[in-house]
Structure 1
Amino acid sequence: MNRRRPPAGAPGGLWLTGLIFGLAAAEPTAAQLQLDQSSVRVDSVVVVGNQRHSANIIITRSRLRAGNVVRQPQIQDAIRRLFSSGDFSDVEIGVEASDDPERGVFYIRVEERPYITQYAFRGLERVDEDVIRDTIGLANNSPLDPSRIGRARVTLLELLSNEGFPTASVDTLIRPDPAFPPDLLVVFDVDEGPRLGVTAITFEGNEAFTDAELRAAMSTDEEGFFWFDSGELKKDEFRRDLTERLPEFYRANGYLDFEILGDTVISDRVTGKGRIEIRVEEGARYLLEDLRITGNRAFPLATIEPIVRRGQHQAEGDEAYPPFNFTAFYASPADLGDLYRNNGYLGSRITPDVRRVEVPEGEPPRVSAHLAIQEGPRSYVREISIEGNTATHDRVIRNRLLIFPGDVYSQERLIQSFQNIQGLNFFEPLPPDEAIDIRPRPDGDIDISLRVQEKQTGTLNFGITASGYTGLAGFIGYSQPNLFGLAKTGSFRWIFGRRQRDLDISYSDPELLGSHYSANVTLRSSRDQFTGFSLGDRRQTGGLTEVGIPIFGIRNTRVFVGYSLFDDDVRGLDTTNVIGRRFSLFSGLRSTLSGRLVQDSRNNPLFATAGARNQLAFRQTGGFLGGDGNYQKLDLTSQWFVPVGRLGGGPGSTSPPIELTFGLSFEAGLILGRNPFFTERYYAGGTQAGIQLRGYDEASVTPSGHIPGDTPFSDLDRVGESFFRTGVTFGIKLTNSIFMSAFMDAGNVWLDASQLNPTDLLVGAGIGASLVTPFGPLGLDYAYGFDRRDVLGRPDPGWQLHFKFGRVF
C-alpha cells in the first residue's frame, strides 16, 4: 500500500496549522469548532493506518476530492461519514502545505476496528438466537461494535424475562479467533436459571379490595394445582399489570387517584420460586353526580344514552350517587363512534370530559361527566373501485358488496363486504387497512378503493386416500373454482380402487347467462363396495342439474330447483334376518325432483368463524316422475358460527390472527312413502359414510342402538328412515389452511318417521384437526363414544380415531 508521509522541515513550516484537526470521537469538540474558518483547495489525499480497507474506498467515503475547495464544515462531515460506517474506532484528518501555496495535502489517519468473525450463544434454550441476531443486527464478519453487543445482552435478558426467567444472567466473552488472527470471537454465555414460579402475590395499602380481587385483575398469577396455573413471571406482562390493568381496575370502580407506590420481586434462584409484593395507594372513591350528552341531532338520547352508560355502576346503599366508572366512560366514544360511522357520519367527533364537582367538607368527592358530540355532515359513497384483480372480473367482486355508490356510508356494511370478498377464497388475505382505502372528497362524500391480491385457484391433484368404509384408493382430479375469472366452477375427479371407483364431472355457474340465477350440472359414474358394513356393492350412473333463484329482498338466500336421474345396481346385499319391513330393490331407476331453500351467510365455506348456513330440502322420487319407488325425503340442516375472540394479528403484525369461534349445528331428516333404495335411507356413525357421529364406528349407530360392526346382525337393519343429530364445536382457526376443534356430537337413527325422538340420542365428544390440501380438506378426529356397546350389548364406552376426507365439521 502506497503511503505519503508529511515532508519533514517543509519550507515556511505548516502555513495551515490552524486547520489541523484530530478527532477521537464521532462529534467534533468545542475547541475544534473555534478553529480557522479559511478554505483550502485539495491538492491530494493520503490515507494512513488502513490495512483492511483500501485507500480509494476511504477517500470516496470522505468525499474529499482533489481540486475541491474545502472548509471546516466539510472536514467535520468527512469525519462523521467515516465514523458512521462503523469500520473505524478513531479518525483524524490533517492538512499540510503543498508546493502550491493555494493548495494543501490532506492526510486521513484511521484506526480500524477489529472484525468479529462469529457471534455465538452458549446455554441459550428458551429464546431463538436468530431473533437476537435479526433484532440487533449481529452479522458475522462485521466490525466490532461494543454498543451493539451491549444492546444484544440487554435484549437477551428482556426476552428471557418475558419467557419466565427473570433471574437469567448473560456474560459476554470477547477473545481472539485462533483461525483468523487478529479477528475476534464474541460468545454470549447464558445462564437461564430456573423458570420463576410465583408462589404468592401480596398487596400493601389496599382497603377497598382484597388481594384475591386485585390478583384477578392481573395477568400474572400465583402457581396453582393445574398446568395452566404455572405462575410464570413475564416481565412485559407484569409491567402491564402495574401500569395498565390494576389502574384500569381501580378507575373502573371510581378510584381515579390510584397509584402504584412500588413493587418488589423476591426470588430464590436455587428453588425457582418467588413472591411479589405490591404497594398501592387507593385514594378516594369518586361518585358520578351527573352525566350529560350534548350535540346529538341524528339520534335521540334513548338510543345514545344506553351506549354511554354501559358499564356504569348503580348507587350503593343510602348513597345518592353511584361510583364513577372512568374506564367505561372513556371507552364509550368508540362504541358511539361505530353507531355514527355505520350511519354515514364518517367525520363525527365525540369528546369526553370529566370535571370535579365542589362538595361540602366531609362528603366523598364527585365528578360531572360530559360527552360532546360533533356529528358533522353525512357522507355518501360516490365511487367504488377495485384494484389488483388481474384475473377475476370486477362484477364477481361487486356481487359480494353490501354497500354501493349512492348509499349512505356504513362501516359495518363495508367490513362485511370485505369479508364476503375474502370468503370467495380467490385472493390472498390482506389486513383491512391495506385492502380498504377511503378517500374523502371536497364536498364531504367519499370514494372507496378495494384492493385484492390474486392467488392460484386451480388445482391438479393426485394421490392415495384411505377411508373407513371404502378402503384404500387412488385419485386424480382437477378443480377450478374461478373459471374464466367469473367464479364459475369446473371439476373433474376420478377415484379408483378395489372397492371404490368414482368418475365425477361437474360445472356450476353462479351467474347463468349474466343473470342473478345460478346453475350446476353433475355427471357421475360410481361403484362403492363398503368395508365397514356389508351393504353390498353399489353401482350408480347418472346425473343431476339444478337452478338457483335468489329471493328478492332476502340476502344470501336462494331457492334451488333440480332434477336427477340415476340407475342403481346393488349386488351382494345381505338380506337375511331382516327386522321389520325392509323391502329393497337390487336394480332400479331413481327419478327425483328436488327443491331446496338455502340461506348461507358464512364468512368462509370451509373454516367459517361467523355467519350461518340453513337448508331445508324436499325431494320427490318416483311416482308421477317415473322410475321406481314413490317416496318423499325431507331434510333440515342448520349451522351457526359466532366469533368469540382473536389472538395476535394486531396493527403492525405480519401474520393473520388466530381466530376463535363457537359453532352449533342441527340436522334432521325423514322419509315418507315407499322407498325401495336402501342407500337412500339414513345410516349414522363415524365421519364418512353417512350422518357424522364421532366416537362410533362407521354405520354402527342403528335403530336398535349401537351395534359394533363385528356383531351378528343384518347390516340392512343398520339403516333407518328418520334421524336427528346435533353438535357443538369450539374451533381455533390457526391459518386459512389449518383448523383445530373440540366438539360434542349427539344423534340417532330410527326405523321410520313415527319413531323419531330427539331426546334419545347417542353422545360422543373429542378433539380434532383439519388441513386444507390441494385435493380437499383432510382431518383427524379423536372422540370418546359414551354410549358404545360390545357385541353382547353390554356398555363399552371408549375412544375412536376417525380419518376425514372432504369434511371439516
Structure 2
Amino acid sequence: MIRRLLVAILAVAALAGAPRSLFAQQDTAASNVVVDSIVVRGNHRVSDTRVIELSHLRKGESVSFPTIQSAIHRLYASGQFANVSISVTPGSPAIFFIEVVERPVVAEYAFEGLQHVSPGTVRDTAGLVNGEPLDPARISRAEEMLGHLLSKAGFPRPRIDTAMVVAPGGYRLVFRVDEGPRLAITSISFEGDSSFSDAQLRSAMSTGQEGFLWLHTGEFRHDEFEKDLRERLPAFYAEHGYIDMSVAGDTVLVDPRTGKGRIVVKVDEGPQYRLAEFDVHGNRRFPTGALMSRFRPADAAPLDSLPRDELPPFDQSAFDDATGKIGDLYRNAGYLRAEVQPSVQRIPPSRSGGAHLVKAVWNITEGEPAYVHKVTITGNTYTHDYVIRQQLGLLPGDIYSQERLIQSVKNIQSMGFFEALPPQQAVNIQPLDNGDVDITLKVKEKQTGNLNFGASASAVTGLAGFIGYDQPNLFGEAKSGHFRWLFGGRTQDIELGYQDPSVMGSRYSASVQLRHSRDIYTTYNLGQRRQTGGSLEVGLPVFGLRGTRLFAGYSLFRDETRDLQLVGLTPQQANILLNGTRSTVSLRLVRDTRQGGLFPVAGSRNEIDAAFTGGPLGGAGRYGKYTVESSWFVPVAAIGGGLNSQPIQFTAGLTFRGGVILGNNPFFRERFLMGGVQVGEQLRGYSEGTVTPYGHVPQNSASFPTIDRAGESFFGSTAQFGVKLSGSLFADAFVDAGNVWKSAADINPTDLLVGAGVGVSLVTPFGPLGIDYAYGFDRRDVLGRPNPGWKLHFKFGRIF
C-alpha cells in the first residue's frame, strides 16, 4: 500500500518539469482578457491567497497568453505544486480557475543501512530540509551523491531505494541503502617503471593488495588512492632524484562477478637528477657549514671532488625537510621574519646521454631578531596570573624562541588546571611595528577539585568505604590540599595534607601531612598495625634548573603492631617489632620533565631519596633507607587531532626502581614488600606481598613466616607501550620484572620474577581508577611447583 502511494506521488511529481496551461476556448490566446475573479481549486495546504500571490494575477488587470504562461511557471517554481493548470471562462471579463496538485510535505528524511557515509553530509549538500515539500530533483541529487560518496569510501556497487511512509505532519522519506561489499584490490601493477620494481612502488602506497593474512585486506579507499597518486608516489620518486616524475594515468578494473578489482598505474619517471652543487646565500647568524649539515652530513665528500656518475641522487624530500628545519632554527633564535627560499636549478646534460644534474641553493633573508615585548594571559578566571607565569620559559625582554614558546604551552597544560586547546587558539603572536612581538596565551579553566566516595575491596584490606576531597589548585594559587578517610572492618585511615609550591611567592615549596591509620591484614597474618604521626617537607630549586628540585623533610610516627606472626623470633626482637617511634630526616632530589599530565607521553622523571631514622634523632632503630626511581617516556606516533580535538597518542615507557636499607631497622612496615599493586612495590601478575626473598610464596602458605616476606633491598622495572585515547583514558601493554632480597649484599638484578599483561586506566570524578590483567610467569603453588597464571588487579588512586 505504502509502496503504491510512493509510486503515485513520484509519477505526479515527475510532471513538474513539463508545465502546461488549459484554456476553455482557444481564441482567448489571441487577445487580452480582463480578470474578473480568481478561483483556486485542489489546494489543501497552501491557502487561496498564497496561490494567487504566487501567480501574480490580479483582479481587474488585463492579461495576455504569455502572462498566464508566466503565472504557471511561477507556481511551479515555488516548489509547492506537482501540477498546475489555468482555465478561463469565455468572454472578458473572465473567471480564472487555477487548478493545482500539491506536493506532499516531507516531515523527515531518514537513512537505513548507511554506515560509511555521514547522512548529514548528504542532507546538507543535496538540500534535504525537513518540513518542506517533496522535490524529486533533490532526491535524485541525494541518490547520486550517495553512490559517489560510497564509491569513494570503497563500496562501488551500492543499491539505493527510496520509500515514503505516512508520518505526523506529512511523510517520512527513507533512503534504504545496501552498501554492498567493500571493493578489495587483488593486484596493483605499474607501467613505465623501469627504475623500481612493482613491489617497491607498492610499498610507497597506502592502498595495498589483498593478502593471505588478515592485516592485508586490500580495502580500496578512493581518497587514500588519490593521495597515493598525487603525493606518495611522486614523493618516493623524488627521494631518489626523479623530481620530474608524474602519474600519466590510472585504471581501476572491477570484476562484476566477484566485486574485486585490480589497479594499473602508468608512470612517467623522467630522468634521475644528481646533486652537483649545494650552496647557502645570505646567512649571517649561522655558519654556512652548520646550515649545510642539515641537508648533507658534515663528513660527506665535497661534491666538486666526485665524478659525475658518483654524485649522490638529489633527495627532494630531504631537501624540503631540511628547509623547514632551517626555518625553525631561525625562529628559535628570534628571527621571526627570516625567509628561507629553496631553489633547485636543473643543469642540462653536457652531452647526449649525460647525467642530469641539479644545483640546490638556500637563499636566506634573515632580518633582525624579534624581542618579546609583552606576554598576556587570558581565560584564567580562577588561577592567578603569577601561577601560570611561573611555567613560562619565554619572558618579556627575551629574544623570541619558537621552541621555548612551545615548551611554555606544554608546561601550562601539564599543570592539569586547564582544558587542552588547539595551538591556533592557545597562542596568538602579534608582530609590532618595531619588529618585536606581543604574545597572548589563552587558557580555559576546568574543574580541578574532586569529591571522592565509594567502596573498595582487596584481598589485603577487605571491604572498605572511602570518602575524600582533593583540590590541586586551592585559591587559584596551585596550592593543594587533600582529605581522605578510608574505613572498614579491617582498616581505618585518616589523612590530611597541604602543599604550597610557592611559599609567599618564592621558589621554595612546603608540604605538611598528618595521618592516623589502623590496618588489620588477615590475609597472610600481617597482623594489626596502628600508625600516628606527620611529616613536614621543604623544597627548593637546584641551580635554577627548571623541573629540578631538592626536598628536605622530617617525619615523626608512632608504630604499633599486634598479632604479627613471630615464629622464630626472640622476645627482644618481638618487642622491637611490636612497638616503636620513627624519627626520620630525609633528602630527595627530583627532576621531572614529563609531558601529558597524569598519563605522560614524553619526558622523564628521576628521583633519588635518602632517609635516616633513629640514632641521634631519637626513637627506635638506627638505619638509612635509600631508593631511586627513573621513568622515561618517548612519543611513538599520533593519530588524528584537528582544530578542536586532541590526537590519539602512542608512547613507549621504561621505569627502573630500586632500594636498600642499611643498619638496624626494627620496623617491619619499613621493609620492602613486592607483588600486586596495592601494598609495597608493584609487580603485576602476582598477589600482594607474594614475591619474597625466597621466591614466589602464595598467600595461603601457612608454614611460611610473614616476617620473611619482606626484604631490605629490591629492584623492579617496567616496560610499557601505551595509547592515550584522551586526557582521561589510557590503555597499555606492559612487562614487569622485579624481586626483593634479605639485604643489600644479596641483590642480583638477573634473578627477577616476570609478569606481563594489559591494562586500562581512567580518570573519574572520584579519582583515578585502573584495571590490569597480568600473567605471572614465575608463580609457584604451596608445594613450590611451577604454577604460572593470570591475575586481575584493581587500582584506585595509583596509576603508574
| TM, length-normalised to structure 2 | 0.85
Aligned match of 1:625: 617
1:734 aligns to what SS in structure 2? strand
After TM superposition, give the deviation of residue 560 of structure 1 in Å.
Answer: 0.7
Alpha carbons of structure 1 residues 476 and 173: separation in structure 2 relative to 1, 3 Å: same
Kept after mapping to 1: 8 A contact 2:84/2:100: yes
Paired amino acid for 2:276: E
CA distance in 1, matches of 2:184, 2:299: 37
> Where do residues 554-593 of structure 1 align in structure 2 (5 Å cutoff)?
554-576=545-567, 585-593=577-585
CA distance in 2, matches of 1:531, 1:129: 60
Aligned match of 2:527: 536
After TM superposition, give the deviation of residue 320 of structure 1 in Å.
Answer: 3.2
After TM superposition, give the deviation of residue 804 of structure 1 in Å.
Answer: 1.1
Kept after mapping to 2: 8 A contact 1:24/1:91: no
Aligned match of 1:602: 594
Counterpart selection for 1:386 from 377, 381, 384: 377
Kept after mapping to 1: 8 A contact 2:515/2:534: yes
Write the deviation string for residues 716-738 of structure 1: whole angstroms up to 9, x where unpaired. Answer: 21110001111111121111100
After TM superposition, give the deviation of residue 382 of structure 1 in Å.
Answer: 0.5
Alpha carbons of structure 1 residues 130 and 715: separation in structure 2 relative to 1, 3 Å: farther
> Where do residues 106-185 of structure 1 align in structure 2 (5 Å cutoff)?
114-127=104-117, 129=119, 132-133=122-123, 138-146=128-136, 148-157=138-147, 159-161=149-151, 165-173=154-162, 175=164, 177-178=165-166, 184-185=171-172
Write the deviation string for residues 547-578 of structure 1: whole angstroms up to 9, x where unpaired. Answer: 11112321111111111111111112112257
Aligned match of 2:343: 353
Alpha carbons of structure 1 residues 530 and 138: separation in structure 2 relative to 1, 3 Å: farther
Write the deviation string for residues 40-60 of structure 1: whole angstroms up to 9, x where unpaired. Answer: xxxxx9999976456898999
Alpha carbons of structure 1 residues 753 and 767: separation in structure 2 relative to 1, 3 Å: same
Paired amino acid for 2:245: F
After TM superposition, give the deviation of residue 148 of structure 1 in Å.
Answer: 4.3
After TM superposition, give the deviation of residue 323 of structure 1 in Å.
Answer: 1.0
CA distance in 1, matches of 2:74, 2:298: 58
1:414 aligns to what SS in structure 2? helix
Aligned match of 1:668: 658
Paired amino acid for 1:518: S
Aligned match of 1:475: 466
Kept after mapping to 1: 8 A contact 2:158/2:177: yes
> Where do residues 698-737 of structure 1 align in structure 2 (5 Å cutoff)?
698-711=688-701, 712-737=703-728
Matched, 1:189 2:180: no
Write the deviation string for residues 511-532 of structure 1: whole angstroms up to 9, x where unpaired. Answer: 1122111111111111222355
Aligned match of 1:247: 234
1:396 aligns to what SS in structure 2? helix
2:495 aligns to what SS in structure 1? strand
CA distance in 2, matches of 1:277, 1:597: 63
Moved more, 318-327 or 286-295: 318-327
Alpha carbons of structure 1 residues 179 and 416: separation in structure 2 relative to 1, 3 Å: closer
Matched, 1:657 2:634: no
Paired amino acid for 1:755: D
Matched, 1:683 2:673: yes
2:433 aligns to what SS in structure 1? coil
Paired amino acid for 1:678: F
CA distance in 1, matches of 2:281, 2:380: 46
After TM superposition, give the deviation of residue 219 of structure 1 in Å.
Answer: 1.0
After TM superposition, give the deviation of residue 333 of structure 1 in Å.
Answer: 2.1
Write the deviation string for residues 135-158 of structure 1: whole angstroms up to 9, x where unpaired. Answer: 766443233344543454345345
> Where do residues 296-307 of structure 1 align in structure 2 (5 Å cutoff)?
296-307=283-294
Write the deviation string for residues 266-314 of structure 1: whole angstroms up to 9, x where unpaired. Answer: 3445545433222222222111211221111110122211213379999
Aligned match of 1:506: 497
Counterpart selection for 2:311 from 318, 321, 324: 321
CA distance in 2, matches of 1:79, 1:448: 63
Kept after mapping to 1: 8 A contact 2:452/2:767: no
Counterpart selection for 1:520 from 505, 511, 525: 511
1:568 aligns to what SS in structure 2? strand
Aligned-pair identity in percent equals 54
CA distance in 2, matches of 1:532, 1:751: 22
Counterpart selection for 1:208 from 185, 195, 200: 195
Kept after mapping to 1: 8 A contact 2:159/2:180: no
Write the deviation string for residues 603-641 of structure 1: whole angstroms up to 9, x where unpaired. Answer: 244111111111111111111111111110001011111
Write the deviation string for residues 738-757 of structure 1: whole angstroms up to 9, x where unpaired. Answer: 01111111111111011112
CA distance in 1, matches of 2:584, 2:75: 85
Aligned match of 2:765: 774
1:319 aligns to what SS in structure 2? helix
After TM superposition, give the deviation of residue 440 of structure 1 in Å.
Answer: 0.6
CA distance in 2, matches of 1:253, 1:79: 67
After TM superposition, give the deviation of residue 481 of structure 1 in Å.
Answer: 1.1
Q: Structure 2: which 5+ runs fail to align?
A: 1-15, 19-37, 58-70, 86-96
CA distance in 2, matches of 1:296, 1:89: 73
Kept after mapping to 2: 8 A contact 1:158/1:235: no
Kept after mapping to 2: 8 A contact 1:166/1:235: no
Counterpart selection for 1:292 from 241, 261, 279: 279
Counterpart selection for 1:783 from 774, 784, 789: 774
Kept after mapping to 2: 8 A contact 1:170/1:188: no
Write the deviation string for residues 369-426 of structure 1: whole angstroms up to 9, x where unpaired. Answer: 2211111111000000111111111000001111100000011111111111111111
After TM superposition, give the deviation of residue 793 of structure 1 in Å.
Answer: 1.9
After TM superposition, give the deviation of residue 262 of structure 1 in Å.
Answer: 2.6
Kept after mapping to 1: 8 A contact 2:166/2:172: no
CA distance in 1, matches of 2:469, 2:53: 60
After TM superposition, give the deviation of residue 83 of structure 1 in Å.
Answer: 10
Kept after mapping to 2: 8 A contact 1:532/1:698: no
2:270 aligns to what SS in structure 1? coil
Paired amino acid for 1:614: N
1:308 aligns to what SS in structure 2? coil
Moved more, 590-599 or 312-321: 312-321
RMSD value, Cα? 3.6
Write the deviation string for residues 497-552 of structure 1: whole angstroms up to 9, x where unpaired. Answer: 11221111111111112211111111111122235532112111111111111123
Alpha carbons of structure 1 residues 180 and 507: separation in structure 2 relative to 1, 3 Å: closer
CA distance in 2, matches of 1:679, 1:136: 71
Alpha carbons of structure 1 residues 313 and 328: separation in structure 2 relative to 1, 3 Å: farther
CA distance in 1, matches of 2:387, 2:327: 32
Kept after mapping to 2: 8 A contact 1:347/1:377: yes
Aligned match of 1:636: 628
CA distance in 2, matches of 1:703, 1:541: 29
Matched, 1:493 2:484: yes
Aligned match of 2:209: 222
CA distance in 2, matches of 1:57, 1:548: 81
Matched, 1:431 2:422: yes
Q: Structure 1: which 5+ runs fail to align?
A: 1-22, 26-44, 65-77, 93-106
After TM superposition, give the deviation of residue 264 of structure 1 in Å.
Answer: 2.8
Alpha carbons of structure 1 residues 80 and 411: separation in structure 2 relative to 1, 3 Å: farther
